[in-house]
Structure 1
């Protein structure tokens, strides 16, 4: 172990082997090892000096989590989680072994899919045809062009586009939720009317993605859906999985 601490990638079942030839963050890439405690284990490496959120290291972290999740349930850690030493990691695993084991069981054969909804940007024609207020303000701006009329029209268009997207977002949430094991709302994202992650059975992930894509196509004049996945199940793991400091972010 180096003086820079122990970089923690994930928690897995203690009996699971690491993927062949898997490597960690840093340049050269760090050698991986496991710290076992009872029935669980932390996947770790020496923390590289001067750790930063470089693209190379972000991709290495993500790739390892994806490879781990291909082999079984994983409690993923966010990039940059560093513990002072192995004893700290082992002690925290022991303190929450029961909780971690239960979460690993819950995440068995599951992946995360994130769905974000934004107002459709190429839907002005359909909006004008549908919304009487927008149509009225457009006609006024044509009859009496000027700064104030243009501002009123622009504000009305933005509000109406967001309202239509929010309605579509509520609908897609209703349609997709029964296809998932669980949902987790994400943080507010500028420009988005919906940010939610779904816990989906690995065997059903293609069907889930197809349903979301079909919804997006049939509602493209009302909402833009952005799908990300399959992903490690970040949103379904407590932020208190293991107490470490965040480095390089």
Structure 2
């Protein structure tokens, strides 16, 4: 039967799994696959596995339990392989790599931050601060028949939005990265101008959170900063 893999830890990790169930319906039983240096938490893989709430919760519960007792390399939901021997072979072949990454994550948690600015507020700001944008907007509102003006205004506003959001993202990153051991940025989508994960040492956690709260207050009500964490370090595996 195929094997579902949850996470990798050092063999010295307590690996307390009592009271936890694996993914699947009915739930599978958790077990560990050991080598001399590393252990993987696994279960039998259900024949049909979908990212349902119950299974996502079971996967996350394993990560959180292990994270509470030590450092963990959390695998993304849905990772499977052929059998326990295949898991053991990977642990042996990549022991140095996994060991190095576990050391890099020791004592750390992940925080994920997304940030957005209200579109109307941003547009008002551009029209107030850009003479060219304001003049184009006024010409359009006064009934200018020049069909090129709306296109010119749209292009100008788009450039201003990008420049301002890049500057905002750089400012937020600059304020927070000093409290993080590593960071991983991803493409922002929708109205967001920032999508980033921070690897934060537990010793810096309070300072990091305080700085993020200060940033949110400083930026004001036109901004939406959404911080998730502490999380298993999925982004830094």
Q: Is the shorter-chain TM-score for this pair beyond 0.5, marking a shared fold?
A: yes
Quickly say closer, same or farther: Cα 1:133–1:19, change in 2 above 3 A.
farther
Match of 1:115, SS state, is strand
How far is the alpha carbon of 1:194 from its aligned partner? 3.1
Indicate the residue corresponding to 2:74 in structure 1.
76
Q: Distance in 1 between matches of 2:64 and 2:144?
A: 55
| Ranges in structure 1 where 5+ consecutive residues have no aligned partner | 238-249
Indicate the residue corresponding to 1:160 in structure 2.
160
1:7 corresponds to 2:4? yes
| Ranges in structure 2 where 5+ consecutive residues have no aligned partner | none
How far is the alpha carbon of 1:157 from its aligned partner? 3.3
Match of 2:118 among 120, 127, 130: 120
Indicate the residue corresponding to 1:47 in structure 2.
45
Q: Distance in 1 between matches of 2:105 and 2:85?
A: 27
Quickly say closer, same or farther: Cα 1:91–1:165, change in 2 above 3 A.
same
| TM-score in terms of structure 1 length | 0.84
Q: How many pairs align? A: 233
Q: Report if aligned partners of 1:120, 1:220 keep a CA contact under 8 Å in 2.
A: no
How far is the alpha carbon of 1:144 from its aligned partner? 1.5
Match of 2:19, SS state, is coil
How far is the alpha carbon of 1:158 from its aligned partner? 4.0
How far is the alpha carbon of 1:85 from its aligned partner? 0.3
Match of 2:32, SS state, is strand
Indicate the residue corresponding to 1:194 in structure 2.
194
Instruction: Report runs of 4+ in structure 1 exceeding 6 Å deviation.
Output: none
How far is the alpha carbon of 1:140 from its aligned partner? 1.4
Q: Distance in 2 between matches of 1:203 and 1:21?
A: 30
| TM-score in terms of structure 2 length | 0.87
Which runs of structure 2 are paired with 1:92-131 in the superposition (5 Å)?
92-123=90-121, 124-131=123-130
Q: Report if aligned partners of 1:168, 1:223 keep a CA contact under 8 Å in 2.
A: no
How far is the alpha carbon of 1:17 from its aligned partner? 2.3
Indicate the residue corresponding to 1:231 in structure 2.
231
